Amino acid sequence: MSSEHDHPQPGGAIYEPEAPIGEQLVVVAQELSDLYRSERAKAAELEQAYDQLQDTYQAAIRTLAFVVEAKDNGTRQHLDRTQIYGLELAAEIDPRLVRDPEVGVGFLLHDIGKVGVPESILTKPGPLTDDEWEIMRGHPLAGVRIVEPMQFLGEAVQIIRCHHERYDGSGYPEGMAGTGIPLAARIFAVVDSFDAMTSDRPYRKALTTEHALEEILRGEGTQFDPEVVRVFCDLVARTPWVAEGRYTDRAPD
């Protein structure tokens, strides 16, 4: 003769009415503990996979950036310095910018479009002809086209697109003006020019820090955002290795 106890009960032994409540709780606690351990193990695996993905992503971005170096010696140091110093300046102006990893990526990749510019133009020791300038001025949009399929780059694309725009609207590629230019690009324009001026280039020797700062100040309100220039000059004055002209000696990691 069958009884209700012949049928399997939901949840197995823990629902046996005969089992004392204390024992049932011990079983539940054991099951929860097992579940917690297995979830922790899964979370640790996911965390490890995420870290590996991040490392791979960073390495891929740096490789992409340094492709330009193969064509234009000295670019790697320029990229590393402008990324480090750009982030220091951005932190002074708006700390929210440096919380966004895309901004640092944009600084590193700003000239990626130069891979499409012939070496004869990139390393030309004299002034460029009009036609050569035309090609050179195409590098921001060429860069955008290269990185556009990487949808996770977000703000970085705007830095690549706008790093040669000028505050008075006379820059390229679009002639944006004032605060219409993304803030990260306005910040980067100052650091990029400062680094270019204080480095030897095929067509001229490096300027002194003092001379480069004079040039930056001369561009206040025309080439550069006056507020960014003010904070930059302040930062340089507080950073002895820059103020003393050792800017380009600093070995980036």
The footprint of Fe ion (CB under 5 A) covers: 111, 192
The residue among 111 and 165 lying less far from Fe ion, judged by its C-beta, is 111
Least distance in Å: CB of 175 to Fe ion? Answer: 16
Residue 19 or 141: which CB sits closer to Fe ion?
Answer: 141
The 3-class secondary structure across the chain, one letter per residue, is CCCHHHCCCCCHHHHCCCCCHHHHHHHHHHHHHHHHHHHHHHHHHHHHHHHHHHHHHHHHHHHHHHCHHHCCCCHHHHHHHHHHHHHHHHHHHCHHHHHCHHHHHHHHCCCHHHHHCCHHHHCCCCCCCHHHHHHHCCHHHHHHHHHCCCHHHCHHHHHHHHCCCCCCCCCCCCCCCHHHCCHHHHHHHHHHHHHHHCCCECCECCCCHHHHHHHHHHCECCCECHHHHHHHHHHHHCCHHHHCCCHHHCCCC
Is the CB of 45 or the CB of 200 nearer to Fe ion? 200
Q: Nearest to residue 222, comparing CAs of 142, 156, 170, 168?
A: 168
Nearer to Fe ion, 111 or 220 (CB): 111
Cβ(115)–Cβ(129) below 8 Å: no
Q: Which is nearer to Fe ion, 54 or 170 (CB)?
A: 170
Q: Which is nearer to Fe ion, 68 or 97 (CB)?
A: 68
Least distance between Fe ion and beta carbon 51 (Å): 30
Least separation, in Å, of the C-beta of 109 and Fe ion? 11
Task: Give the span between the Cα atoms of 77 and 249, in whole angstroms.
Answer: 10
Residue owning tokens 């992409």: 64
Minimum distance from CB of 107 to Fe ion (Å)?
9
Tell the smallest beta-carbon distance from residue 113 to Fe ion (Å): 7
In the complex, least distance from residue 149 CB atom to Fe ion, rounded to whole angstroms = 21
Output 78 or 183, the one with its CB closest to Fe ion. 78
